[in-house]
Amino acid sequence: MIYLTFVICFVAAVGLTPLVKKLALRIGATDAPNARKVHKKIMPRLGGLAIYLAFVIGMLILHPDSSYTLPLLVGSGIVILTGVLDDIFSLPAKVKLVAHFFAALVIVEGGISISFINLPFNGVLYLHWLSVPLTLLWIMGITNAINLIDGLDGLAAGVSCIVLLTIAGLAVTEGNMFVFSVCAVMLGSTLGFLPYNFHPAKIFMGDTGSYFLGYIISVLSLLGFKNVTLFSIVIPIVILAVPISDTLFAIIRRWVNKQPLMAPDRSHLHHCLLRYGFSQSQTVVLIYGMSALFALAAILLSTSTLLGSLLIIIAVMVIIELLVEGVGLISINYRPLLNAYKRLFSMSKVK
């Protein structure tokens, strides 16, 4: 039934996207080009609405009676409504953050949160009062992280599919069929939208889609790793390393440059790669590859020993740092690791 529902969601998204495109043009949910954006003509957005409607169909088929279905539908409904209004009227950032807070609160009230962490050697760390704020912060953070990488045709949707596929695979190994089935619903819905979103895109998913994808991914990662160990809590972070690191270094970059934290700029990962001379399609494929690499690291992490987990985490951190320095994600002058390597290389040549 899960695989049939996957097909139904895919077909539903394929059929709904052209209708949503017509609706977007009719109500003025369009994206005009400007100095910060890559596209050169007015584009319809709101494509995320097609993904959401296909998702709702899948959830009602597979899990009409699950205790998690209502919180997921209500919370995502808040996110979708906010995204639709934003795609039409461009809401202030503070308004969107408040809406995302309430959407995250719906999930917490629905019983989804991390209450403790299993430590090595049979220890347990109870989060107590930190459980709720950390859960809210995680959901809101990932919801907005996916939005920040939505800058090129097919980028956010493709990266989200890689993330969903990884969470689905790990859910199967843990016997968590609910998370696996919801991942299948989301994959079918997103893949059905992708043919219209690949370069050259016919429609953008808009904030409606990017916020919705981030919201569902954040909740699925909580459900998939609910009773986590000290190192398995890092697994969803590694899976989402591309959007999380892009968001984190955007905050650092704006803080260093004394800019408002919510101010848009042209220094995200995809902008940096475009400046290096890669085309839109090449940039998207490169970031897909990065996401797949981190997904593989997360899978290895889930099966590793304590020492193995430490080595993988260190390797991931080094790769991210090299990427940040190599493409100038903070600034072109920020290169501590690369400069240290050059000095060591120079010293070895002198000897």
**Nearest 5°: phi and psi at 333?**
-95, -10
Q: Is residue 234 within 8 Å of 178, Cβ to Cβ?
A: no
- The SS3 of residue 154 is coil
Q: DSSP letters of 202-271?
A: SS--HHHHHHHHHHHHHHHHHHHTSSEETTGGGHHHHHTHHHHHHHHHHHHHHHHTT--TT---S-SHHH
Length of the chain: 351
Alpha-carbon distance 316 to 20, whole Å? 39
pLDDT in tens, 328-345: 888 888 888 888 888 887
Identity at 66, one-letter amino acid code: S
Q: What is the model's pLDDT at position 229?
A: 47
Q: DSSP letters of 123-139?
A: EEEE-GGGHHHHHHHHH
pLDDT in tens, 144-198: 999 989 889 999 999 999 999 999 998 998 889 999 999 999 999 999 999 999 9
pTM of the complete model: 0.91
Alpha-carbon distance 171 to 132, whole Å? 23
Q: Is residue 280 within 8 Å of 199, Cβ to Cβ?
A: yes
Residue 36 pLDDT grade (very low, low, confident, very high; cuts 50, 70, 90): low
Cβ neighbours of residue 143 closer than 8 Å, sequence gap 6 or more: 79, 100, 103, 104, 211, 214, 215, 218
